[in-house]
Amino acid sequence: MFEAEPGLMIWTVISFVILLVLLRKFAYKPLVGMMHRREETIKESIEEAKRTRESAEELYEQYKKLIDKARDEAKKIIDEGKTLGEQARKEMVTKANDESAQVVKRAQEQIAFEKERALSELREQIADLSIMAASKVIDRSLSLKDHEKLLEEYISSIGEVDAQ
């Protein structure tokens, strides 16, 4: 079945060697060159990916710090707002208390003034009525001088009664 022919074997070996030389010259070197270029491209891509990842991590850390800083500033602003609001509330309460105290004081002064005026009017009316009653009792009319004297005596006596 299988017989070895020396001539065919020589031509097979020569054909195989020629094929290897041709493949090495025309196929192997370009394939190896393409593989080296592909390998370099892949290495460059990996390096670029590493640099991009490191850059992204740095940016992430920077953004994280910025966000933390923004949160701190927001908290500070909120705290300042609360403080200012509390101060404004205290100022308004103080101002309202002062104004109410002034209103009460003015009302008390007005009451005292009105009381004095009423007492003064009352004294005058009592004096006039007393003089009229006294003049009827005496059945004579008093002179202006006597009238003033009696009025002053009566007012002073009423003042002494109010003081008691």
Flag whether the pTM goes above 0.95. Answer: no
Q: What are the residue ranges spanned by the domains of the chain?
A: 47-163
- Please tell me whether residue 140 adopts helix, strand or coil conformation: coil
More confident residue, 86 or 29: 86
3-state secondary structure of 98: helix
**122-126 mean pLDDT:** 81
Q: Band the pLDDT of 157: cuts 50, 70, 90.
A: confident
Average pLDDT taken over every residue of the chain? 86
C-alpha atoms less than 13 angstroms from C-alpha of 10 in its C-beta half-sphere: 2
Helix (H, G, I), strand (E, B) or coil at 113: helix
pLDDT for position 78: 94
Q: 34: helix, coil or strand?
A: helix
Confidence of residue 101 (pLDDT cuts 50, 70, 90): very high
